Structure 1
Amino acid sequence: MAESGTNQSVEKAAGVLSTFLPGGPLRTADVAKRADLSQSTASRMLATLESVDLVERDGLGMYRLGPALVTLGAAVLNNHPVHRAARQRAQNLAADLRLGANVAERRGDTLFYLCNFEGRDAPRPFMLAGQHNPLHSTGLGKCLLAHTTPEQRRELLGDELPRFTERTVADHDALDEEMATLRARGYTMEIEELALGRACIAAPILDQHGEVAAALSVSGPLSALDLANRQQALADIVVETADAISLDLGYVGPQHAPSRATSR
């Protein structure tokens, strides 16, 4: 039952579109099952969405998301201040370091990728932009929590933190320690906490008010990051790039200078 003041047709259309998020084409019956609709309702919704290019059909009659969503998505990103400030710098970072470069903001209790670029040593079979990931088990997510208190983190994330690998920070006391380290040195790392064999170094991006607006990371296979030999050099570059993006967003206060001086 829709809440008072909402439009059920719009909610159903959004539900139909969301069934395609896992990827791959779908039959009408698949959409109906995933969206919890009758097949006739799903068929009508798909026909309407197809008429405005929000979905399209292939030669076999299978549906997939349509080109109008690319136009809408591009408009969202082009008008997003963090994306505008960070896109070119992140792209340059990926090319120069041959690693992945990622920018994300917080959406509720998850991080939301605004953009990602692949370096030659860190290819991915899929795009991260538009996807969500946990906050507690990613370098970007920890940066997005940088200005929260322990009490706020517990309220936001709940008492139990899901474990994805044996290295996941899975309790709040350990996360509190990582937050203290992040504040002291201006960056954080994630090593095989979300996926085995992968790591990242991340730093927060601040807005004109000095609040955490987003985060920047470089990521890739452990062999490509070579943290044993390159941790501080990579951290310096990530922090400097995040600082530059912060300045573009209007932040004018000092950032990380004392901690970076003591970390070398």
Structure 2
Amino acid sequence: MERDRPVSVAGKVMAILNAFAQGGVRLNLSEICRRAGLPLATGHRLVGELTAGGFLDRLPDGTYRIGTRLWRIGSQAPAVMGLRELALPHMEDLYEATHDNVQLGVLRDDRVLIVERLRGTRSVPVLTQVGQTLPLHTTGVGKVLLAFAAPDVREAILAGELERHAARTITDPADLRRSLDEVRRAGYALTRDEMTLGAASVGAPVRDAAGDVVAAMSLVAGSRGADLRRLLPPLTTAVRALSRDVAAHWHGDPDIFSAERRSGA
């Protein structure tokens, strides 16, 4: 039977790279092999070859992360390149206005793919990296994308396991459903200590010419004493400006930002 055929070398390599798509910027060899479903000896050999080729980086503590060569290849994808080029000027303006962390994400395989990030040097430290994927239910960008996603996408997330990442992560489906309803009504999402302890975020949607949500932008600040609503005016200005640019200048595949773009508003 098809499922009994041995996994090819290419399949094993793809499984290793996909291990990083499941979350976690740095992974040790055991975790990579566990996620990839590979024996340790096989994983060690293939990870070594990927590292030698620049597709993975080995850090001094023995963990691995996606290498710059792989990122350079991936960043040439039209969806990433086009959106980043349009978004960067607006993200830079937003950073100058707030000096907080600025993130841009799109929906990919029921997670948030971070396609660009500017780090606020005077803001709360964040571990998010460009190219990393995050859960939809724990972040400002994720909640925006989930709230405006197709109904079948939302229902699949609500029916699945809502993993706890920090003290205030919403793990009850009914609570998350109410939160997403509020995001659609208000037009923005707020989080506090849901993905990372000490971090809060406010996210807003980026829309195309048809009014569909194709991405989300967020500001991430320290959760202690943070007045997230004061960040809404500059964030709203940035996403509106980016939405105008997307509507005017994006001429690619209308579904390229997200495979799950069917309207769920």
Q: TM-score higher than 0.5 here?
A: yes
1:68: Cα distance to partner? 2.4
Q: Which residue of 1 aligns with 2:256?
A: none
Greater mean deviation of Cα atoms: 48-57 or 174-183 = 48-57
Greater mean deviation of Cα atoms: 75-84 or 94-103 = 75-84
Greater mean deviation of Cα atoms: 87-96 or 41-50 = 41-50
Q: Which residue of 2 aligns with 1:257?
A: none
Q: Deviations over 1:53-81 (max 9, x none)?
A: 4357899x998765422431442378533
Match runs of 1:106-255 below 5 Å:
106-124=107-125, 126-148=127-149, 152-223=153-224, 226-227=226-227, 231=229, 233-250=230-247
1:108: Cα distance to partner? 2.2
Q: Residue type of the partner of 1:234?
A: L
Kept in 2, the 8 Å contact 1:206–1:251? The answer is no
Q: Residue type of the partner of 1:185?
A: A
Does 2:73 match 1:76? no
Match runs of 1:73-112 below 5 Å:
73-76=74-77, 80-112=81-113
Q: Deviations over 1:227-254 (max 9, x none)?
A: 1xx61x31122122111111111179xx
Q: Deviations over 1:72-102 (max 9, x none)?
A: 1442378533222212211331232010100
Q: Partners in 1 of 2:6 and 2:242 — Cα distance?
A: 38
1:154: Cα distance to partner? 2.2
Indicate the RMSD between aligned Cα atoms, in angstroms: 3.9
1:191: Cα distance to partner? 1.3
Kept in 2, the 8 Å contact 1:99–1:219? The answer is yes
Q: Which residue of 2 aligns with 1:23?
A: 26
Kept in 1, the 8 Å contact 2:54–2:67? The answer is yes
Q: For residue 147 of structure 2, give the secondary structure of its aligned residue in structure 1.
A: coil
Q: For residue 128 of structure 1, give the secondary structure of its aligned residue in structure 2.
A: coil
Kept in 2, the 8 Å contact 1:202–1:216? The answer is yes
**What 5-or-longer segments of structure 1 have no aligned partner?**
253-264
Greater mean deviation of Cα atoms: 29-38 or 204-213 = 29-38
Bigger Rg, structure 1 or 2: 1
Q: Partners in 1 of 2:15 and 2:170 — Cα distance?
A: 33
**What 5-or-longer segments of structure 2 have no aligned partner?**
250-265
Percent of pairs identical after alignment? 26
- The two structures have a TM-score, normalised by structure 1, of 0.73
Distance 1:93 1:149, change over 3 A: same
Q: Residue type of the partner of 1:120?
A: T
Q: Deviations over 1:190-243 (max 9, x none)?
A: 1112222211111011123321111000012124x731xx61x31122122111
Q: Residue type of the partner of 1:240?
A: T
User: How many residues were matched structurally?
Assistant: 245
Greater mean deviation of Cα atoms: 63-72 or 91-100 = 63-72
- The two structures have a TM-score, normalised by structure 2, of 0.73
Q: Partners in 1 of 2:173 and 2:34 — Cα distance?
A: 38
